[in-house]
Amino acid sequence: MPTVLITGCDSGIGREFAQQYDAEGWDVIASYRDISNALPSGKRLRNIALDLTRDDDFAALPAALDGAPVDLLVSNAGVGLDIKRLGALDFNYVRTMYEINAIGPLRLIETLVDNLAASDMRRIASITSRMGCIGLNLSGGHYGYRASKAGINAMMRSLAIDLFPRGITVVSIHPGWVDTAGGGGNAAVPVGESVSSMRKLIHHLGNHETGQIFSYDGTPLPW
């Protein structure tokens, strides 16, 4: 079966990805910012610590994989809840959002690119947000979160171009307004439905779609 590595499995979308792929019989490498949140390990599910802000975790990752191919990377880990307005912005938190939401995924892909290239599927899915689509911003605010998601979208576009010669397909996916802790109590899309739809989208991707942004239901989104 294929191998998937998923970041941010502590809760929410990442955890649901791990559980769904595990139920389907994939080999799952689930990573956690806090390993105490780990799912029960199994024959096909293994857990690793990976905090996207920690040099030590990145340094340990190649040895943990030992050169094994990774068919699919789901770069999901992120932080949000960026609700402060001008005059009350927490710039340390803005920096943290950019480090985790944009720089961390780029560093992760650089670390795993040879594992991805050695696989059969060779796919990267970055879980983004339509709030990073500049053309869809009609309400303002959320400066750090919007910038971090626009940043990772731009990085993924460049990665799609740079990794195309190695046969690696790269896309960004907006999961919808999901009923997780980050989505809030009024979110419209159940997390199981969102993840199931994203998995179908990832499965049917063609190489010609590399570098694009999609909603979880397959609708292309603007930059």
Between the CA of residue 26 and those of 1, 45, 119, 184, what are the distances in Å? 5, 8, 14, 30
Output DSSP code: residue 165: G
Query: Phi and psi of 176, rounded to 5°?
Result: 85, 175
What mean pLDDT do residues 179-192 have? 71
Average pLDDT of the chain, as a whole number: 94
Contacts of 22 (CB under 8 A, 6+ apart): 28, 39, 42, 44, 45
Least confident of 73-77, 81-85, 197-201, 218-222: 81-85
Checking if the pLDDT of 106 tops 60, the result is: yes
* Rg, the chain, Cα only: 16
Burial readout 58-77 (b: 16 or more C-beta within 10 A, e: otherwise): beebeeebeeebbbbbbbbb
Q: Which residue ranges form the domains of the chain, and what is each CATH number?
A: 3-215 (3.40.50.720)
Could you give the CA distance from residue 107 to residue 105 in angstroms, rounded to a whole number? 5
Q: Is the pLDDT of residue 108 over 90?
A: yes
pLDDT band for 36, please (50, 70, 90 cuts): very high
Residues 88/143, Cβ–Cβ less than 8 Å: no
* Residues near 200 by beta carbon (within 8 Å), at least 6 away in sequence: 218
115-140 pLDDT per residue, tens: 999 999 999 999 999 999 999 999 99
**Confidence class of residue 200 from pLDDT cuts 50, 70 and 90?**
very high
* Lowest-pLDDT choice from 68-72, 123-127, 139-143, 195-199: 139-143
CB 125 within 8 A of CB 198: yes
Q: Where are the alpha helices (H) located in 77-142, listed in sequence order?
A: 91-98, 104-117
Six token digits for residue 158:
């460049």
> C-alpha angle with apex 204: 160 to 11, nearest 5 degrees?
80
Q: Give the span between the Cα atoms of 57 and 75, in whole angstroms.
A: 15
Evaluate if residue 197 carries a pLDDT over 80.
Answer: yes
Q: Which residue has the tokens 């159940």?
A: 190
Residue 37 pLDDT exceeds 90: yes
